[in-house]
Amino acid sequence: MFNYRIDREVELKVLETGDAEELFLLTDANRRCLRQWMPWIDGTQTVEDTRAFIEHARQRWARGEGITAGILADGSLCGVIDHHGLSTLNRSAAIGYWLAQSHQGRGIMTRACRGMVDYAFHSLGLHRIEIRAGVDNRRSRAVPERLGFTLEGVARGAQRLYGVYIDLAVYSMLATEWPPCGPAVAEAGGPA
């Protein structure tokens, strides 16, 4: 099981197949805003699609390839955040995320991302975290900027988004630059 309490309001928990319906309904309710930046949204049409996503994420976690967690605010699922592209050789990973429109503007994603970075550096012993966001996606870019990540540059034409290639702003943080672990409390282990 993986639970990571960020503060009294925000918690991260590994997604389980029993979360498929709730996650699908959240995704479906936010389909229009998610489609602007998320290339996977058109492939998520049913609860079964979401269940398959969760099962794939759990298999990646079991193989040590990264964590996909639900973001809970006051106990309700409101988004997803993950470590992906985990390299044990380079001790690095990337973080990706999305948040329901109804929960944006409250600092939830910044806190969730801070928790994932803390976990990556302090529990997984990683050296580098990267976050990529569409250059025009100001809300997504604001998260690494608020957390003090360094903007390394722009990866030109790096993401195919519905037949068009978009540029991605590339941010990074090194373990030596990250402040010590804050009040978050983690309970982590293998998949349940």
- pLDDT tens track for 111-121: 999 999 999 99
How high is the pLDDT of residue 179? Answer: 82
How high is the pLDDT of residue 191? Answer: 39
Buried b (16+ CB within 10 A) or exposed e, 19-49: bbeebbebbeebeebbeebbeebeebeebee
Chain centre distance of CA 160: 19
Q: What are phi and psi of 156, to 5 degrees?
A: -75, 135
- pLDDT tens track for 3-55: 889 999 999 999 999 999 999 999 999 999 999 999 998 889 999 999 999 99
**Mean pLDDT for the stretch of residues 125-146:** 97
- pLDDT tens track for 48-107: 999 999 999 999 988 988 899 999 999 999 999 999 999 999 999 999 999 999 999 999
Per the structure block, which two tokens stand in for 152? 């390394």
Cβ contact 81:69 at 8 Å: yes
